[in-house]
Amino acid sequence: MLRLVSRRSIGGAALILGAGAAIGAAVPASAAPNDYLRLSDERTLTRSASVVRAVWVRESSSAQGRKLARLRTVTYHGSPEVVLMLGRRIVGGRTWAYVRYAGQGSRRGWVPISALSSTTVHAERLVLDRARLRLRLFRGRRLLFSARVGIGASGSPTPTGRFYVRERLGPFRHSNSVYGALAFGLSAFSSHRTDWPGGGQVGLHGTNQPALIPGRISNGCVRLANRKVLRLGRLLRVGTPLLVK
């Protein structure tokens, strides 16, 4: 779990490792639409975008739709806020984007497409297998990276579902910190650490205790050996989809 333990300045923003903005309520399953133009399958083709102006995520593609969450342009750490663009729909001459956004559970909803940047296309996907304690990065069927990992302990398990890489933090000057040489903030949030600063954002990061890997050892974060996370860092981009199973 990324937690409030250290600060450093990156691009003028205070970096507080471990906190993130847990926002809004989870979208009910009934809100998932089926009549929009699909833009991402979160497997072989995924589109991500940055939030360029603060905006409400709504349950439906309407200015009168129920508000689910407030998206800002930067994360708790000062990184650009990123969402996955799952699809789009034109209603009354206005284009809406169906997005996956950060927070507990499966966060999906609608925002005006004008609030988002142009998209970045991803052919890669991350897959975390909790039973096998293994993280893999694929491009299509090609395996690009594989490593044994540490995941959440029984009292604070790593959440399952579809998420994405929300931000990159580091590399850090001193790799003997609890976050190791490099960290990524994920869009996933733990329901077991909501009292932590920012709501308990789940991270993927290095470690200063490599002997504990593999294992169920963390507050929800995914830990890799430093040499592994640095190698992954050369391949992994913000906006890459993640399946935790």
Kindly state the tokens that stand for 220: 């929800």
Least Cα distance to 239 among 81, 130, 56, 78 occurs for 81
Query: Going by CATH, does the domain composed of 7-11+124-244 fall within 2.40.440.10?
Result: yes
**Quick check: helix, strand or coil at residue 234?**
coil
Q: Domain 29-122 belongs to what topology?
A: SH3 type barrels. (2.30.30)
Least Cα distance to 22 among 87, 64, 75, 63 occurs for 75
Give pLDDT, residue 135. Answer: 98
Question: Global pTM?
Answer: 0.86
State the span(s) of the chain assigned CATH 2.30.30. 29-122
| Residues 31 and 59: beta-carbon distance below 8 Å | yes
Give pLDDT, residue 134. Answer: 98
Q: Could you read off the pLDDT tens digit of each residue along the chain, which spans 245 residues?
A: 554 333 332 222 222 233 333 333 333 333 456 689 999 999 999 999 999 999 999 999 999 999 999 999 999 999 999 999 999 999 999 999 999 999 998 899 999 999 999 999 999 999 999 999 999 999 999 999 999 999 999 999 999 999 999 999 988 877 778 889 999 999 999 888 666 666 689 999 999 999 999 999 998 999 999 999 999 999 999 999 999 99
| Residues 194 and 21: beta-carbon distance below 8 Å | no
Give pLDDT, residue 21. Answer: 34
Kindly state the tokens that stand for 125: 């996907």
Give pLDDT, residue 201. Answer: 93
Kindly state the tokens that stand for 169: 């933090």
Give pLDDT, residue 44. Answer: 96
Give pLDDT, residue 200. Answer: 85
Give pLDDT, residue 88. Answer: 96
**Quick check: helix, strand or coil at residue 99?**
strand
State the span(s) of the chain assigned CATH 2.40.440.10. 7-11+124-244
